[in-house]
């Protein structure tokens, strides 16, 4: 009986040692889990990361998945005291699948996530559903449920390092030297002009909007030294809905990336 009780205790301790993060959930194309730093800060923000471990040849989507993709989503409706979960995204790449192209990741990626608690000192259990798309030649919807107590192993150094690396992978804030500085309507398109660092190659612009389906893929229109211009075709006639909220963008060039937003005039 003592040996059985000791074994049960050891199993419980082993489970708790990893409880600040979820277990991996597997699919045909890879595995997914949630990692946290364990405890929220004084403002009730709990930092974490959605880790997507892709098998070779598989891909997943950026925040704007294109017309037929599945953006990563976290449903927090079952989590007491969690009022919001904000996902952030490292710079994606342009992926070409035959006649279609979209923004995403061809390597394993960790998406930073910030959970906001309604009380900074609330004892909370993370009980969420995650939904995303993992693609090879076709895209397969992936859905998993994660339930764990992030405070159960709040001093887990490995988990904290995973989260820190995820946030460090984010693009820097855009500025006048590296970023989009103007937007101009030109008929059924938007001309976006900005600046990139000297001597960088392959400037690429990625856009998101709450009505992203109204925007085509940005195309590089011109480059003159450090100045670049992109043209974005407007799809459909409901242009007023594009003007109501800003464009969110990530601009990459020569392996560097920045993110920002700009209003369509």
For residues 18 and 187, the model is more confident at: 187
Question: 211 and 247, same structural domain?
Answer: yes
For residues 244 and 41, the model is more confident at: 41
If phi > 0 it is left, if psi is from -120 to 50 it is alpha, else beta; for residue 118 that is: alpha
Question: 148 and 22, same structural domain?
Answer: yes
Question: 211 and 92, same structural domain?
Answer: no
- Residue 161: predicted pLDDT: 96
Rg, C-alpha atoms of the chain: 21
Question: 189 and 150, same structural domain?
Answer: no
- Residue 1: predicted pLDDT: 35
Task: Give the residue numbers spanning the domain of 75.
Answer: 18-170
- Residue 241: predicted pLDDT: 66
Distance CA 247, CA 212 (A): 9
- Residue 240: predicted pLDDT: 64
Question: 223 and 164, same structural domain?
Answer: no
Question: 155 and 107, same structural domain?
Answer: yes
Question: 109 and 33, same structural domain?
Answer: yes
Question: 110 and 63, same structural domain?
Answer: yes
Please determine, for residue 7, whether its predicted confidence score (pLDDT) is greater than 70: no
- H runs (alpha helix) in 71-198: 157-168
- Spell out the long-range contacts of 125-128 with Cβ–Cβ below 8 A and sequence spacing 24 or more: 125/79, 125/80, 125/149, 126/22, 126/34, 126/36, 126/79, 126/82, 126/150, 127/78, 127/79, 127/80, 128/34, 128/74, 128/75, 128/76, 128/78, 128/79, 128/85
Question: 43 and 159, same structural domain?
Answer: yes
CATH number at residue 117: 2.60.40.1230
Confidence of residue 238 (pLDDT cuts 50, 70, 90): low
- Residue 3: predicted pLDDT: 35
Q: Stretch 5-13: mean pLDDT, rounded? A: 32
Question: 155 and 193, same structural domain?
Answer: no
Q: Stretch 182-197: mean pLDDT, rounded? A: 94
- Residue 213: predicted pLDDT: 79
Task: Determine, yes or no, domain membership for 11.
Answer: no
Integer CA distances (angstroms), 84 to 45, 61, 80, 198, 253, in order? 10, 21, 11, 39, 32
- Hey, is 152 helix, strand or coil? helix
State the chain's mean pLDDT as an integer.
88
For the CA atoms of 253, 182, 260, 219, the dihedral, rounded to the nearest 10 degrees, stands at -50
Q: Stretch 177-182: mean pLDDT, rounded? A: 97
Q: pLDDT tens, 142-165?
A: 999 999 999 888 889 999 999 999
If one counts the domains in the chain, the total is: 2
């Amino acid at each position: 009986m003592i040996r059985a009780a000791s074994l049960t205790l050891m199993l419980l301790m082993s489970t708790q040692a990893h409880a600040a993060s979820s277990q991996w959930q597997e699919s045909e194309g890879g595995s997914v889990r949630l990692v946290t730093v364990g405890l929220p800060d004084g403002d009730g923000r709990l930092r974490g990361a959605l880790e997507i471990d892709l098998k070779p040849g598989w891909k997943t989507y950026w925040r704007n998945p294109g017309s037929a993709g599945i953006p990563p989503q976290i449903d927090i409706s079952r989590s007491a005291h969690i009022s919001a979960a904000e996902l952030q995204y490292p710079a994606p790449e342009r992926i070409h699948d035959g006649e279609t192209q979209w923004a995403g990741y061809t390597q394993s990626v960790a998406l930073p996530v910030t959970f906001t608690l309604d009380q900074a000192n609330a004892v909370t259990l993370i009980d969420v559903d995650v939904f995303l798309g993992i693609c090879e030649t076709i895209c397969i919807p992936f859905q998993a449920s994660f339930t764990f107590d992030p405070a159960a192993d709040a001093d887990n150094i490995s988990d904290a390092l995973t989260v820190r690396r995820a946030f460090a992978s984010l693009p820097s804030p855009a500025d006048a030297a590296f970023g989009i500085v103007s937007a101009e309507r030109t008929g059924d398109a938007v001309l976006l002009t900005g600046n990139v660092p000297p001597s960088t190659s392959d400037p690429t612009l990625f856009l998101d909007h709450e009505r992203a389906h109204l925007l085509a893929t940005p195309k590089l229109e011109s480059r003159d030294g450090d100045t670049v211009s992109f043209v974005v075709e407007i799809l459909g006639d409901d242009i007023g809905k594009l003007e109501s909220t800003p464009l969110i963008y990530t601009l990459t060039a020569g392996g560097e990336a920045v993110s920002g937003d700009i209003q369509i005039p």
